[in-house]
Chains A and B, each alone.
Chain A
Amino acid sequence: MAYSDKVIDHYENPRNVGKMDADDSNVGTGMVGAPACGDVMRLQIKVSDEGVIEDAKFKTYGCGSAIASSSLVTEWVKGMTLDQAADLKNAEIAEELALPPVKIHCSVLAEDAIKAAITDYREKQK
């Protein structure tokens, strides 16, 4: 199966790889995994007091499509409000990266990851 140019670009030059302090009250951490392929994804966001995502980092152990999906999401959510980021749909990710049907689940994983990160952040604010 051939990867699209965009997937290859994100795979070879992943954006925002890294780690934030998960204990920081301004940081939300999303951990998700795909048992069928054994992929693991961590996506973190740093949120300003105004509820805007200032920074995002990810680390993904998985196939090229999973890496590209999470890399793309970190690029997209920077500057978004939490509500905007929570609205992100996997179909938008899949379309941007031209993922083939068998790799759609990688974009679902990335959507789950950003949602989990937002949930984690909101839980911390309570």
Chain B
Amino acid sequence: MIDIKQNYFELFALPVSYKLDAVQLSGRYRELQKVLHPDRFAHLSERERRLSEQYTAFLNEAQATLKTPLRRAQYLLTLQGIDTLAETSVKMDAAFLMQQMTLREALEEAGGAVDPEVALAQLSDEVCGNLKAQRQQFEALYNAADYEGAAGAVRRMQFLEKLALEIEAREDELLD
């Protein structure tokens, strides 16, 4: 059985780091899934079956968290006692916010462009480039144990990820 008091990295026998061994993660995930397969619990008591469901939920949450770069970064910070998702009032750099405003305005205007698909693709490239740069910054700061600095990079990633999702949604609308 699995120990739900372990942190997610321990669960998958991974080092606590932003750099991820994706093969190890998916391999160990499949192993643990087998251990927790409902068929193996079918003959057991309801209490034990419910426990196995809880373990499965824990396992899936752990896997989804580590697999996604932003969620992995957020999780690494929670292990350091910083929860960037619970923050409600944080001062952000004015220049960064200005850029976010401009990018969102560009997304709004992309619909009216001569070729909306091209406009959206360009915007998407720009946002993905920014995201990549923030991920690299996060990794460098985290590895240097500058957790406050790393939290800044995660906050910027949170804005950019949301925007990337909105661009994707707009692209889907165009295809419909």
In this complex, the interface size class of chain B, counting residues with CB under 8 Å from chain A, is 20 to 34
* Chain B window 5-45, contacts with chain A (Cβ cutoff 8 Å), 1 for yes, 0 for no: 00000000000000000000000000000000000000000
Q: Which of A97-115 contact B (CB under 8 A)?
A: 104-105, 108-109, 112
List of B residues within 8 angstroms of A33 by Cβ:
92, 96-97, 100, 159
A35 near B159 with CB under 8 A, answer: yes
| Closest A residue by C-beta to B84 | A35
- Residues from chain A with a CB closer than 8 A to the CB of B104 are 40, 61
Residue of A nearest to B155 (CB): A35
Residues of B within 8 A of A34 (CB): 88-90
On chain A, the residues within 8 Å of B137 by CB distance are: none
Q: In the complex the two chains form, is A105's CB within 8 Å of B94's CB?
A: no
Residues in B72-92 with C-beta less than 8 Å from chain A: 84-90, 92
Q: Does A31 contact B (CB under 8 A)?
A: yes
Question: When the two chains form their complex, are residues B101 and A36 in contact, meaning their CB atoms are under 8 A apart?
Answer: no
Instruction: Give the residues in chain A near B162, CB-CB below 8 Å.
Output: 37-38
Contact B94 A35 (CB under 8 A): no
> Which of A17-60 touch B at CB < 8 Å?
31-38, 40, 42, 59
**Could you tell me if B84 and A31 are in contact, using CB atoms closer than 8 angstroms?**
no
Q: Which residues of A contact B101 (CB under 8 A)?
A: 31, 40, 42, 59, 61
The complex places the Cα of A36 from the Cα of B155 at a distance, in Å, of 7
- Of the candidates B88, B98, B105, B156, which one forms a contact with A36 in the assembled complex, judged by CB atoms under 8 Å apart? B88
B94 touches A31 (CB 8 A): yes
Q: When chains A and B are docked, how far (Å) is the Cα of A38 from the Cα of B84?
A: 11
Contact of B97 among A32, A36, A108 (CB under 8 A): A32
The reply to whether A35 and B87 contact each other, CB–CB distance below 8 Å, is: yes
Query: What would be 26 A-B contacts, judged by CB atoms less than 8 Å apart?
Result: A31-B94, A31-B97, A31-B98, A31-B101, A32-B92, A33-B96, A33-B97, A35-B87, A35-B92, A35-B154, A35-B159, A36-B84, A36-B86, A36-B87, A36-B158, A37-B162, A38-B161, A38-B163, A40-B101, A40-B104, A40-B159, A59-B101, A61-B100, A105-B88, A108-B89, A109-B89
Known: A36-B84, A37-B162. 5 other contacts (CB 8 A): A32-B97, A35-B92, A38-B161, A42-B101, A61-B101
